[in-house]
Amino acid sequence: MRHSRLFRRTLAFMVTVFGVMALASSLISGIHISNELQKEYASKALALAVSLAESDMYTLLQQDVIVVQSRIDTCLEIEGVAYVLVADEHGRVLAHTVAPGPSPAVLAEVASFAAIAPGQGTSRVVELKRGILPLDGSPARTSIHAVWPILHGLGGAVHVGMDKASIHGHFWSAFLAQQVVILGLFLASAAAAWLFVRSISRPLIRLSEYSNRVAAHDFSVLLEQVVDLKAQDEVGELARSMRSMAGELAQHIEILSHKAQSATDELEDALAYLSAIINSMPNGLLVVDSRGIITRFNKAFLGMLQLDERLVLGRPCMEVLGARPTQELGLLGRGAPPDACSVGAGPNFAVKEIELAQPGRTLPVEVSTVCLRLHEDRAILCVFRDITERKQNYEISRRAQEDLERKVEERTRELSHANALLKLEAAERSMVGEALRKAEARYRSIFEKAVEGIFQISTEGRYLAANPALARIFGYDSPDEFMTAVAMAPERHFVDPESHREFLRRIEVFGQIKEFQTRIKRVDGVLVWISSNGHKVTDRTGETLYFEGSVEDMTVRREMENALRQQAFHDPLTGLPNRMLFQDHLQLALERSKRRRDYLFAVLYMDLDRFKVINDSLGHETGDELLKAVARNLEVCVRATDTVARFGGDEFAILLEEIDAPREAVKIARRILEEVAQPLMLSGHEVFTTASMGIVLVTDGYERPDSILRDADTAMYKAKEQGKARFKVFNQKMHEQALRIMELESELRRAVERREIQVYYQPIVDLARQRIHGFEALSRWIHPRHGFIPPSEFIPLAEDTGLIAPLGAEVLRTACTTLLAWHQLFMANGLTEEADLPRMSVNISGKQFLQPSLVGEIQAILAETGLDPQYLTLEITENVLMINAEGAGSMLAKLKRLGVCVSMDDFGTGYSSLSYLRQFPIDHIKIDRGFVSSCDEDAESFAIIKTVLSLGAALGMEVVAEGVETVGQLGLLVDKGCQYGQGYLFSRPLPPEEMKAFIMQHMTSPHAAFDELTRQR
């Protein structure tokens, strides 16, 4: 008999829960007993110690070892006592009960208690992990150690130890006893639960087995034989319901079986009937599924195409019929659905004529196709009819009809020719009259409905005809009203009457005129522009009969042209001319200067200083207001003949024409700078700004406006480089410098790509140890034509062109590789301590420092070269760190996480805050060479150096002095405790091979500068 899975899981759950509860209760009870026994043992030990200390105090004070030993030996008979020990006030053991002696843990506790000042000792109870060491070699046991001082520690102390192992024995005996009781109760409960579940699950299992027989259509077993139907519980009700349901289900199954058998017989008869019809059809039958595969056909189809049945069934339609017939019928095979089948609900019926290829001939057939739905698929039913005989009969009929039509056509042509001659004359007359009437009606319709005004004017200037559109252009409601108004004064509406007479004169002289523009005044007083076209109408002799033409109101178009012209040549924000119009005026000025020797002009190119700061802080609307205010001020500062233009952004250009001398342009430039520097109230804010200006005074030799603007822009940037808020007059030297910079930029790009930038090294010396501490890697460019190009010239150029990233990465990679080689050199000479191995300092430019990818690049180079990060120092100038203090702090923190050191270069030349200096994770400070070079002559420089050294010592930063060139400077730095020095006194920057020789010379011996310093002192 099967067991109930439902009740089995329930019983298993109950057993699990009961077992967990029993285990938890036993553990909690045992832990409670253990804790109580520990408290009891602690109290017993303390009470025993008190008893010994108080009752035998005199004996203990006399330190009679024999009496004391006999007294404490009797304590071992007390249950749980492991040892008793008496010590004097100095921690020396007088007597004990442990053989061969107390454990180290007990002796340590005795010494610890004796270390307390005499008279201050108090009783205490502690737990010693290795307090008991058994003689049989078994593991050490834990003891509960109680101490009671004699006379507050003046007479020593009594130490009693209780064995904690007996507590564990009591714990496990209590735990096991409780588990045995619980196990008995658990087994009894489990047996009762199993009997109860069994009594419930047995009838349910029998019902489940009966339902499986019913599901398999097995009704041979009666439900009364399986379950007691008379039971008055839920199982009995379920059994009675199942018996009723099983009876109804048996009846329905029997009925459905009869119906299914009848339907099967009818379907077989229908299929046999349909098969007989298909096989007896004279026409070919073909069925193609949705993949283009042939699934059905009849014998007539095989005979029509002379095919074997084995070569047709299951083959793609394209292989049997050919590609062209398959495509024409929409029976595309090879996985493609047939085109003849659409997604619609009803069948699609089509009839087509095609030609099928047979051996030696083509067979014309007519194919009827219909799309059918079969279950979830679609299929195409095709009926093929041989129409060879029909085609032959049709061809015979067509030829006979063509012969008859040709004969009828010849006879009809003869009769038509005769009839045409009779009707020709009458038709010509009728057609000419009708054509004249239609032409007049068409002209009248065009004349009346035209959008443009149409007129006829006599040679004297009087209007002969006008259409409604012309009347509307002049402001009248109808042509009659217009004709009446202009009958006596045809020129009354023209603002310039002479223009109307000129219009008529040109028509008379030239025969026609197009787009003659003039201005008229409408009857309502509105001024409009019109464009007139006209031509002269003459008779056969060439005499002028009248003038006619059209008029178009072009006011809107002229306004749009003016607006477009304004937008094309003016700045939409300020209304000033733009670059295009300014260049046009400048071109005219150039041409005038070539024609007139006394004509002088100047070009001023101006750019606002700090405009981006104003725009970003106060918003773009305030920035636009500032640009408009500056534009108005510029217009005030110049003359009416001058041109003020805005090129975009905050750039303006001024063309000063007809100046008497160059000093006049300089005077105007000063006036403009003073006016721009005045404060402005914009959007409730007082705004200050200045401008930098470049001026081109000598304009001889220029051919194009772009060249003048280029040179003015160059001069303007020179003014910005020299401090802004000023102007610079362009000279030829500026142009040569610009060309040189452009040439250097191209050559620098090639030099970086070819890795022609060399790395030189300058030593950093430990002034206290008089040895090499490290090196600084310095970029050097030895140009093949220009020679040595200083870093101050090509490093800014690399930053402006974006070459600083690959250049800096190459310098860092080379420096790391070189330092690794020098480390091998140092270690080969026995210098293996961390302090002996040199470090490498590499400069990081401002543009490099602001790049988010800097940390990843440095990490990749360190991994590539294998250099330990602690030997790499990155030098960043003070000004770069303070441009964006928050961003600099974040970047420095990332660099420090790599393990590299950070040095603040050129310290003292910027404006760093001491609070930022404290917050930044900086390891070294480098004193600028400007202070070091004059420290032995300038008291202020020396005071600054002392301050920086004190600051570095207070902040825990190392200090490096740059630019040490004399022994006197070296002596001052050594006296003030400067740690490191660098400069030409020790060595100039050297290429790698020369620096290697320098290292070999001074690796372990002091530099000659220190010998000279010693001699001077």
812: confidence class by pLDDT, cuts 50, 70, 90: very high
Q: Is the pTM of this model over 0.75?
A: no
Q: What is the pLDDT of residue 755?
A: 75
SS3 label, residue 843: strand
At residue 783, the 3 state secondary structure works out as strand
> Which of 271-275, 381-385, 495-499, 562-566 shows the lowest mean pLDDT across its residues?
562-566
Query: Of 15-24, 231-240, 384-393, 521-530, which gets the smallest average pLDDT?
Result: 231-240
Phi, psi of 459 (to 5 degrees): -65, -20
pLDDT at 340 over 70: no
pLDDT for res 225: 64
Which amino acid is present at 547?
A: F
Q: What is the pLDDT of residues 986-1014, one digit of tens each?
A: 999 999 999 998 888 887 667 776 777 67
Compute the distance between CA of residue 530 and CA of residue 507 in angstroms, rounded to an integer.
17
Does pLDDT of 1016 surpass 60?
yes
Measure the CA–CA gap between 852 and 856, rounded to whole angstroms.
8
| 878 or 909, higher pLDDT | 878
Judged against a pLDDT cut of 70, whether residue 193 lies above it is answered with yes
pLDDT tens figures, 469-482: 888 888 898 888 88
Task: Count other C-beta atoms under 10 Å from residue 614's C-beta.
Answer: 20
CA atoms within 13 A on the CB side of 978: 28
Q: How far is CA 460 from CA 196, 498, 546, in A?
A: 133, 14, 9
- pLDDT tens figures, 854-871: 899 999 999 999 999 999
Strands 839-843 and 349-358, sheet pairing: unpaired
Q: Mean pLDDT of all residues in the chain? A: 82
pLDDT tens by residue, 201-242: 777 777 777 777 777 777 666 766 666 667 677 777 777 777
420-438: average pLDDT? 70
- What does DSSP say about strands 463-466 and 453-457: parallel, antiparallel, or unpaired? antiparallel
Cα 277 to Cα 280, 281, 782, distances in angstroms: 5, 6, 103
* DSSP state letter for 689: -
Cβ atoms of 512 and 534 within 8 Å: the answer is yes
| Range from 256-265, 645-654, 983-992 carrying the lowest mean pLDDT | 256-265
pLDDT of 724 > 90? The answer is no
Specify whether the CB–CB gap between 331 and 292 falls below 8 A.
Answer: yes
Cβ proximity of 283 and 385 under 8 Å? yes
Structure tokens at 793: 């010239």
Structure tokens at 100: 């061969």
Helix (H) or strand (E) holding 21: helix 5-55
Burial degree of 1009 (CB within 10 A; 0-12, 13-18, 19+):
buried
Determine the pLDDT at residue 290: 82
- Among 106-120, 705-719, 767-781, 816-830, the range scoring the smallest mean pLDDT is 106-120
Task: Using the structure block, give the residue that is written with the tokens 């067979």.
Answer: 363
Contacts (Cβ under 8 Å, ≥6 apart) of 962: 926, 927, 928, 929, 932, 982, 983
- Tell me which residue of 608, 550, 566 sits closest to 725, measured CA to CA: 608
Within 10 angstroms of residue 897's Cβ, the number of other Cβ atoms is 12
Task: Establish how many alpha carbons lie within 13 A of residue 515's alpha carbon, considering only the half-sphere containing its beta carbon.
Answer: 2
Per-residue confidence band for 598, with pLDDT thresholds at 50, 70 and 90? confident
Q: Three-state SS for 641?
A: coil
pLDDT at 339: 45
The per-residue pLDDT for range 296-326, each reduced to its tens digit, is 888 888 888 788 888 788 888 888 888 888 8
Rounded Cα gap, residues 951 and 289, in angstroms: 94
Least confident of 164-178, 385-399, 678-692: 164-178
C-alpha closest to that of 731 among 768, 701, 687? 701
Amino acid at site 747: E
Q: Is the pLDDT of residue 343 over 50?
A: no
Q: Which two tokens stand for residue 860?
A: 């990749």
Residue 341 has pLDDT above 60, yes or no: no
Does residue 670 register a pLDDT over 90? yes
Of these ranges, 318-322, 565-569, 600-604, 699-703, the one predicted with the greatest mean pLDDT is 600-604
